[in-house]
Amino acid sequence: MIRIFVMTMVLMLQACSEPAESVKDNTSVVVQLSAVTLTSLANDFEFPAKISAVKSVDVKFEVSGRLIYQSLMEGSKVKKGQVLAKIDPAPFQRKVDESRIRHQDAMRDLKRIKDVFEKNVASQRDYDEAKSQFSITKIALENAEQDLSYCTITAPFDAVIGARYIENNSYIRTGDTLANLQDRSELYFSFEVPERIMTANAGNKDVKATAHIIGQEDKVFDIHYVEHKTTPDPITQTYDVTFALDGKITNLFYPGSRAIVNIKDKHIQSQALLLPINALMGDNDAGFSVWRYEQSTRSLAKAKVIVAKLQGEFALIESGLKDGDKVVSAAVSQMREGLVVKEYKAGF
């Protein structure tokens, strides 16, 4: 009786277990899926940059005197040759007049002595002294006229008045700074590039560069290469690089502003598929594969892939998948071919 009872129990347990296995096979396993996206393999770099004018010049008088006129409104535009400031020219005009009279006297003396020298009446010494005096007074007159011209300062180029340091009726000494002029025909974006990036891209100037002011990411402008240093900073081991913005829109920026410069290589046009590195199975020797989700059957299929390169937490795939595919990106070792799955969604 005991043997019959045991056999009966075994048969009952087997009968109960068969439906359970069937239910398990038909139940969807919740898995984490990640979409495969297309990305460019082109180098893409961002650098913090500082904006500066093409030229920034301090305007100074070459002579001393009383300032009688200035047209130096800060932030205003001036044209090349426009009068910016004047100092009282009267003392310098008197010096010119005095020097001219002395020079005219010396010129008459030279003519008189030359005439008598040619008649053997004047000595060679008298003639030489007359010529020397003529030259000295000529130089004095030229210096006086030059000092007079220094009484007026004009704009050396089209510019914007960045700052003014003097007021009318001030006494100006030689070398005092009147104002700062900024040449904003272009604006320079200067930034530092690490040695490894500079070396890897040596000689490549065919790049697309854009820039935007920090805090104004929606306003992006094209900029072009100007120059770069070939000697690195001894401390940071970085190279100074300069790009420029067309002068037609420089009124939207101010020197000293902070910006972000983005640089892409025009030559590299190839693309690859991006997926989480956790989705990969295999190694370089055996090759890589992933579990691809088949939407029609809601099941998994193993797909061989070729990895272009690893980049941080992601892998760039050359082939084996297409844009928009979904792959398992967690617990990949626990998956199997044909497994019916359900995508995990946060909040459900």
The domains found in the chain, sorted by start residue, are: 27-41+270-343 (2.40.420.20), 45-54+185-265 (2.40.30.170), 89-150 (1.10.287)
Per-residue confidence of the chain (348 residues) as pLDDT tens digits?
434 433 334 334 344 444 433 334 456 789 999 999 887 666 678 899 999 998 999 999 999 999 999 989 998 999 999 999 999 999 999 999 999 999 999 999 999 999 888 888 788 998 899 999 999 999 999 999 999 999 999 999 999 999 999 888 889 999 899 999 999 888 999 999 888 777 766 666 667 889 988 888 888 889 988 888 889 888 988 999 999 987 777 677 788 889 999 988 766 556 678 889 999 999 888 899 999 999 899 999 999 999 888 877 888 888 889 888 999 999 999 999 999 999 888 754
Strand (E) or helix (H) holding 131: helix 124-149
CB atoms closer than 10 angstroms to residue 156? 15
The upper half-sphere exposure of residue 6, i.e. CA atoms within 13 Å in the direction of its Cβ, equals 3
In sequence order, what are the residues at sequence separation of 6 or more whose Cβ sits closer than 8 angstroms to the Cβ of residue 217? none
Residue 324 has a pLDDT of 87
Strand (E) or helix (H) holding 90: helix 90-118
In sequence order, what are the residues at sequence separation of 6 or more whose Cβ sits closer than 8 angstroms to the Cβ of residue 122? 113, 116
Q: What is the pTM of this model?
A: 0.57
Secondary structure of residue 326 in the 3-state scheme: strand
Residue 50 has a pLDDT of 93
In sequence order, what are the residues at sequence separation of 6 or more whose Cβ sits closer than 8 angstroms to the Cβ of residue 346? none
